[in-house]
A and B are shown apart, each in its own frame.
Chain A
Amino acid sequence: MNKNALIKKINKLAQQDKKRRLDPRYLKVMGFLVAKGFLYTNTKIPLNPNEHINLKEAIWAGRFVEPRILEVLPAAYERFKKHFSGDADTIEKLEQIIDGIKRKNNHKIEFYGISIEKIMPWFFIQLRDKRSKPFDKRKVSKTFRFKPETVDILKSLKEQSGQSETEILENLIADAKSM
Chain B
Amino acid sequence: MNEAIEFENLQRLKEGILAIPKSEVLIFGQMSLMLNASVVKILNLIQTGDMDAKLQMDYFTKIKLLDFLEKNGLVYDEDSHLVWIPENAKVIEFILEDNFE
Q: Footprint of B on A, CB under 8 Å?
A: 21, 30, 37-43, 66, 68, 71-72, 121-122, 124-128
Contacts and interface: CB of A to CB of B under 8 A. Distances in A.
A72 B50 CA distance: 11
Contacts of B70: 125-126
A81 B74 CA distance: 22
Contacts, number: 48
Given A40-B34, A42-B34, A42-B40, A125 B46 contact: no
24 contacts: A21-B44, A30-B46, A37-B49, A39-B48, A40-B34, A40-B46, A40-B48, A41-B46, A42-B34, A42-B44, A42-B45, A66-B46, A68-B47, A71-B48, A72-B48, A121-B49, A121-B50, A122-B49, A125-B49, A125-B75, A126-B70, A126-B71, A126-B73, A128-B73
A30 B47 CA distance: 11
Nearest to B46: A41
Interface in B39-86: 40, 43-50, 70-75
B46 to A, nearest CB: 5
Contact of A127 (B40, B48, B50, B73): B73
Nearest to B71: A126
Contacts of B47: 39-41, 68
Contacts of B74: 125
Given A38-B48, A42-B40, A42-B44, A121 B75 contact: yes
Contacts of A21: 44
Nearest to A69: B46
A72 B73 CA distance: 13
Contacts of A121: 49-50, 75
Given A121-B75, A126-B70, 15 more contacts: A30-B46, A37-B49, A40-B34, A40-B46, A40-B48, A41-B47, A42-B34, A42-B45, A43-B45, A68-B46, A72-B48, A122-B49, A125-B49, A125-B70, A126-B73
